[in-house]
Amino acid sequence: MNMINIPFGTTDWASIERTEHAGITGTAYWRTRDFAGIRVRMVEYTAGYLADHWCSKGHVLLCLTGELLTELEDGRVFILKPGMSYQVADNAEAHRSSAKVDTKLFIVD
């Protein structure tokens, strides 16, 4: 990631419009900013959320609240609790997310 042409700024995430993304079960709510092609999101999963797809996009993800279950396509499973993060490159290892409880994440991709 090359971060250029991004002036200093702050983001009040509560003021960013929230978009809704249905999972197989539950809902994801995104608040998204774009900084010169770098997508930065505050994402909330409702309890019982299960993503409707396997994702191949690279991310740096930080769990803020709740508990995130990340399943890799090869069957490995990782649980992130508040203060834990993961990172994965584009097209490296397909993954999908789920949450048993309300969960809030900060994601850069």
The full set of domain ranges for the chain reads 19-108
Q: Is the pLDDT of residue 2 over 80?
A: no
Contacts of 104 (CB under 8 A, 6+ apart): 42, 43, 44, 45, 63, 64, 65, 66
Helix (H, G, I), strand (E, B) or coil at 86: strand
Residue 13 per-residue DSSP state: G
| pTM attached to this predicted model | 0.93
What does the pLDDT read at residue 40?
A: 97
Single-letter residue type at 66: G
Helix (H, G, I), strand (E, B) or coil at 92: coil
Report the alpha-carbon angle 57-16-45, nearest 5: 55
Q: Is the pLDDT of residue 48 over 90?
A: yes
**Assigned token pair, 37:** 């092609």
Residues 68-77: what's their mean pLDDT?
96
Average pLDDT over the chain, rounded to an integer: 96
Confidence of residue 104 (pLDDT cuts 50, 70, 90): very high
Q: Which CATH superfamily is domain 19-108 in?
A: Jelly Rolls (2.60.120.10)
The mean-pLDDT minimum among 1-5, 34-38, 46-50, 100-104 falls in: 1-5
